[in-house]
Amino acid sequence: MKKRFLGETGIEVSEIAFGCVEIGMPYGIGVDSTKDMLPEHAAIGLLNAALDSGINFFDTARMYGVSEEIIGKAFKNKRNEIVICTKCRHLRNRHGELPKERETSKIILDSFNESLNALQTDFVDIFMLHQVDNEILRNKEIADVFIRLKKERKIKATGISTYTVEETKKAIDLGIWDVIQLPFNLMDQRQASLFEQAQQKGVGIVVRSILLKGLLSDRGKNLHPALKNVEMHIEKFDDLLHRIKLSLPELAIKFGLSYPEVSAVLVGLDKMPYLKQTLKAANGIYLDEDEWAKAKDLSYPDPGFLDLPYWDKMNWLK
């Protein structure tokens, strides 16, 4: 497993970031309850198998069920061998409102301390804002809390999770955020327009949704009727896959890693076969120029429709 530097943070991470949401809560296509999840001992075994295979980067969040607790148990005596990224609780309430002035800092700090306790650690490598928007990006109080945590050396790097190109650009321009986690994959390639700018500013890029919540795998078949056009478009990759002799998930992962500006590709893992498949894809061999160009040409013509939170809300991924 090759490693890359996370922007200019000085943190060296494996090309694959282990996405830990699936080990902490029901998530993804075909996962309806805790009965569909790994038991704790198996999740701990999977985490250690990933570390033994060269993955040192683990991504979680306070909102990911028991994910942080499982990571804490798995790596209690291996803290210096791993890089942990976690995210604070959502700041908006159920009405979509941000907290009042001074309350925001308390929510962030309480969430951070809860994470430390669950992870059984006294520092976090990357602490992120979860689900930002332009109003949150403009909030000085929020930024000041993250900057203070970094000055106090409780975190090594500040991070932010964006959805739109506009949000990512604003986050880069602000110069506050060391790492940006953003959605990018074979189908939705819009964020690539900012990769070079992020690299020039020393911002580490972590790509999420690389498998489009499992659609760019064997789960991307027999989808909800509302996703018929998406399913038909996914089939267009078949010719390229046959020619280069890769599975769709392997192509998707290699595509993300073929961008030198990308520090790591985040892959949600909850089964040993998925770990082995991911390791096979992240073997240090990237797409050549012709393969890369053909993959770029197969982006979805209406990327605005690829709105995973909306799909979840509509129950299209069940």
Q: Residue 238's pLDDT band (boundaries 50, 70, 90)?
A: very high
Q: Residue 232's pLDDT band (boundaries 50, 70, 90)?
A: very high
Q: What confidence score (pLDDT) does residue 78 get?
A: 97
Residues 141-157 have pLDDT tens digits of: 999 999 999 999 999 99
Residues 6+ apart with CB under 8 A from 151: none
Q: Judging by DSSP bridges, how do beta strands 57-59 and 155-161 pair with one another?
A: unpaired
In angstroms, rounded to a whole number, what is the distance separating the alpha carbons of residues 25 and 37? 8
Residue with the two structure tokens 């990224």? 85
Q: What confidence score (pLDDT) does residue 173 get?
A: 96
Q: Is the pLDDT of residue 251 over 90?
A: yes
Q: Residue 199 in 3-state DSSP? A: helix
Residues 276-291 have pLDDT tens digits of: 999 999 999 999 999 9
Beta bridge partner(s), residue 207: 182, 265
Residues 17-65 have pLDDT tens digits of: 999 999 998 887 677 778 888 999 999 999 999 999 999 999 999 999 9
Q: Residue 14 in 3-state DSSP? A: strand
Task: For domain 3-213+255-287, give the fold.
Answer: TIM Barrel (3.20.20)
Q: Is the pLDDT of residue 265 over 90?
A: yes
Stated pTM of the model: 0.94
Beta bridge partner(s), residue 85: 59, 126
Among 87-101, 135-149, 168-182, the least confident range:
87-101
What integer best gives the mean pLDDT of the chain?
A: 95
Torsion, Cα 289 290 294 295, to 10 degrees, reads -40
Q: What confidence score (pLDDT) does residue 219 get?
A: 80
Beta bridge partner(s), residue 267: 18
Q: Residue 189's pLDDT band (boundaries 50, 70, 90)?
A: very high
